[in-house]
Amino acid sequence: MSNNKKNEQLEQFKTDDHGKKMTTNQGLKISEDEFSLKAGTRGPTLMEDFHFREKMTHFDHERIPERVVHARGYAAHGEFECYESMKEYTKADFLSEKGKKTPVFVRFSTVQGSKGSAELARDVRGFATKFYTDEGNYDLVGNNMPVFFIQDAIKFPDVVHAVKPEPHNEIPQAASAHDTFWDFVANNQESAHHALWLLSDRAIPRSFRMMEGFGVHTFRFVNTEGKGSFVKFHWKPKLGVHSVVWDEAQKINGKNPDFHRQDLYEAIDSGNYPEWELGVQIVPEEDEFKFDFDLLDPTKLIPEEDVPVKIIGKMTLNRNVDNVFAETEQVAFHPGHVVPGIDFTNDPLLQGRLFSYTDTQLIRLGGPNFHELPINRPVCPFFNNQRDGYGRQTINVGQVNYHKNSLANNTPEPALPTEGGFEHYQEKVEGRKVRARSDSFKDHFSQATLFWRSLSDVEKQHAIEALSFELGMCKEKSVRQQVVDMYANVHLDLAQPVARNIGVDVPQEGVTGDGKQSPALSQENSSKLPDTRKVAVLVAEGFDASVIKVVDEMQKQGLEPAYVGEMLGPIKAADGTEVEVEKTFLTGASVLFDAVYVAGGEQADEAFNKKVEEYVQEAFEHYKLVAALTDEAAIMDKLDIRNATGVLIDDKVNKGFAKEFAVLAAKHRFWDRNLQAG
């Protein structure tokens, strides 16, 4: 375990029951735990049975309310390392010096579904990071998409009500494909841009480890001179940004609803620590009005081509939690947890968030002392006059619990800014009290069009299919019509085919043709590596011994091959060498792997061959790399795919086969296959 202040702090709270005698919560040793105390072996249970009462009462109260959004989540510990001093822009201590390390805790989540829902839902992913800095906790509570549904926090309950399961029948779970959500979008068109991100492949990530993260809002950096700059935060995954395809997502949800958490857990457990670089887009205050959108509008992004992302540090997740409830469930994030040098802007969504997060923790975590829970404690000490409340753990000694005072020499006392005291940025504001939206927030479509135009042809096709699916699930024709009419304002190439697919009038007027693009918005342009990609090696008894070498070499290339066969347990190669089958065709479906290698075997029978055929067919249809030993290559002819891209034959002579396999596996998918198959 990596040694950092947070890990050391958490150690003090850990307890290990292993090998111990059982006690009550009062420490009394218990002599019997299977039978309640009764009046006679067949008689009634006695009220006196304190052990039964304590055990049952605790159990009855085990559950807490799930998060109203982002209920399904998974988290890990790690650390952030600063690459270079950012003192020019911010006095934040954790960004002040090259090499400075700060413990972090990161929770990824889906938004819509309940705590037990499947993870490959088409949804936004939460990407919340708690930095345990020496100056207190700093929370960057972001998402894997750079914009948001709404412009003003007062509409948050509405968008969440609309996307959640419908109230009259509680359907659907973990899905936005229903009438109320799309009715909301059509009637609150500020959502058009974000909803397009939801239709893009970003909404069905291959892994948490392959997602970008965004702070979304424009925040503010402030340096020691008190000079402010606007800043947007980005997390860039080292493994690049990759997604599954929709058909695959739906199947994964059935085969392994824990696909994402398991992927993260296993990567960390096996030492393949996921990494993201932190990037910032910095805009000098003088440039506030140089954009054709308002920097305070959270439905807008700053194209990276206009303001480059400066990489300033790296985050590595290197430790799984010990207890999901104690850590992942009880962690409480809040965009208002800031440190000196990082401040807010007047983004009306951010302003409202500053209220909501503490408020929600009060009900979810049962009172005002949730900051004392081990996972939420800062690594620096904290002192103030806040006292008491449910579950208070701190024993504040002394007589004085108010400020100002003379009895304690007026302590605890506020710190001067030079002593690290947080000083709100002295922004000049003036205006009339109004319930209104600035005119500069009124363009809802230009950036949605920019995003559309920036997608690759395949990504566009996926978005068309996604919208056809989503609206196809809406019962009300009027809702379907309103949404395609709205998307005509984004691009007719999106609205028209969808309209045809879902049986509504095809809009004729709208945006057409080419225009500005932002290549950084297409995930096709992100990095592609073989690392940790999972390969299913399909084997039968008596398989060719050369396969074992190939599998070893695949591992060296960073791939994660696993033998898949009819039965679990040891299986012999033709030369008698034994390997272990880790997954069967029942438990190791093709959708759970990134690539397939058909090794076959002397004793492969018809049933085996049939399963292999289905397996390869499915992987191929999901555009994955499929390969086979020469002796097994007939399957490629049978499926008529031998000449398609991403289809490889291992002739046993090519010593570099595994390397070639790794290079192709890194490509992620072979989208041009539809054109080339046969």
Q: Which residues are catalytic?
A: 70, 143
- 378 vs 588, which CB is nearer to ligand HDD? 378
User: Are residues 122 and 272 in contact, defined by beta-carbon separation less than 8 angstroms?
Assistant: no
Nearest to 103 by CA among 133, 83, 68: 133
Binding mask 22-61 for ligand HDD (x = CB under 6 A): ----------------------------------------
Residue whose CB is less far from ligand HDD, 216 or 636? 216
* C-alpha closest to that of 319 among 379, 376, 274: 274
Q: Which stretch binds ligand HDD (CB under 6 A): 37-45, 67-75, 338-346, 458-466?
A: 67-75
Applying CB under 6 A, the span of 275-283, 351-359, 511-519, 572-580 interacting with ligand HDD comes to 351-359
The answer to whether residue 144 forms part of the interface with ligand HDD (CB under 6 A) is no
Q: Check binding of 616 to ligand HDD (CB under 6 A).
A: no
Q: Is 636 helix (H, G, I), strand (E, B) or coil?
A: helix
Task: Choose between 178 and 353: whose C-beta lies nearer to ligand HDD.
Answer: 353
Of residues 190-219, which lie at the interface with ligand HDD (CB under 6 A)?
A: 216-217
Q: For residue 114, state whether it binds ligand HDD (rule: CB under 6 A).
A: no
Helices (H), 306-440: 348-364
Figure out which of the listed residues 189, 360, 440, 526 binds ligand HDD, where binding follows CB under 6 A. 360
Among positions 153, 222, 264, 664, the unique one binding ligand HDD when judged by CB under 6 A: 153
Applying CB under 6 A, does 345 fall inside the site for ligand HDD?
no
Closest chain position to ligand HDD (CB): 126
| Given 52, 83, 357, 425, the residue binding ligand HDD (CB under 6 A) | 357
Minimum CB distance to ligand HDD smaller for 70 or for 611: 70
How many helices (H) does the chain have, and how many strands (E)? 17, 18
Amino acid residing at 268? I
Minimum separation from the CB atom of position 78 to ligand HDD (A): 15
Buried residues in 487-517 as b, exposed as e (16+ CB within 10 A): bbbbbbbbbbbbbebbebeebeebbeeeeeb
Tell me the closest approach of the beta carbon of residue 207 to ligand HDD, in angstroms: 17
Torsion of CA 659, 665, 671, 674, to 10 degrees: 70
- Residue numbers 284-323 binding ligand HDD by CB under 6 A: 298
Residue from 140, 349, 502, 579 in contact with ligand HDD (CB under 6 A): 349
Q: Which is nearer to ligand HDD, 151 or 250 (CB)?
A: 151
Tell me the residue length of the chain.
678
Residue 597 touching ligand HDD (CB under 6 A): no
69: contact with ligand HDD by CB under 6 A: yes
Binding residue count for ligand HDD, defined by CB under 6 A: 27
> Residue 382's closest CA among 323, 355, 425, 422?
422
Of 247, 238, 173, residue with least CA distance to 211: 238
DSSP string, 116-185: TS-TT-SS-EEEEEEEEETTEEEEEEEESSSS-S-SSGGGHHHHHHHHSPPTTT---TT---SHHHHHHH
Decide: is 146 part of the binding site for ligand HDD (CB under 6 A): no
Q: Is residue 333 close enough to count as binding ligand HDD by CB under 6 A?
A: yes
Among 80, 89, 105, 156, binds ligand HDD (CB under 6 A): 156
159 near ligand HDD, rule: CB under 6 A: no
Nearest one of 449, 451, 460 to 671, comparing CA atoms: 460
Indicate the DSSP class of residue 594: S
Q: Which is nearer to ligand HDD, 141 or 211 (CB)?
A: 141
Furthest C-alpha separation in the chain:
89
By beta-carbon proximity to ligand HDD, the closer residue of 360 and 518 is 360
Cβ of residue 190: shortest distance to ligand HDD, in angstroms?
13
Q: Are 318 and 2 in contact, with CB atoms under 8 Å apart?
A: yes
Instruction: Tell whether residue 189 is a contact of ligand HDD (CB under 6 A).
Output: no
Please report which residue ranges of 303-388 form alpha helices under DSSP H.
348-364
Q: Given candidates 128, 282, 628, 664, which one binds ligand HDD under the rule CB under 6 A? A: 128
CA distance 109 to 104: 16
Q: How far is the CB of 81 from ligand HDD (least distance, A)?
A: 23
Interface pick for ligand HDD out of 6, 51, 70, 337 (rule CB under 6 A): 70
| Shortest distance (Å) from residue 435 CB to ligand HDD | 16
Return the axis-axis angle of helices 246-255 and 259-269, rounded to nearest 10°: 80
Query: Which one, of 390, 393, 376, lies nearest residue 332 by Cα?
Result: 376
Burial 414-428 (b: 16+ CB within 10 A, else e): eeeeeeeeeeeeeee
Helix spans in 396-545 (H): 446-454, 457-472, 477-487, 492-501
**Stretch near ligand HDD under the rule CB under 6 A, chosen from 336-344, 352-360, 406-414, 504-512:** 352-360
Residues that bind ligand HDD (CB under 6 A): 67-70, 73, 107, 109, 126, 128, 141-143, 148, 153, 156, 216-217, 298, 331-333, 349, 352-353, 356-357, 360
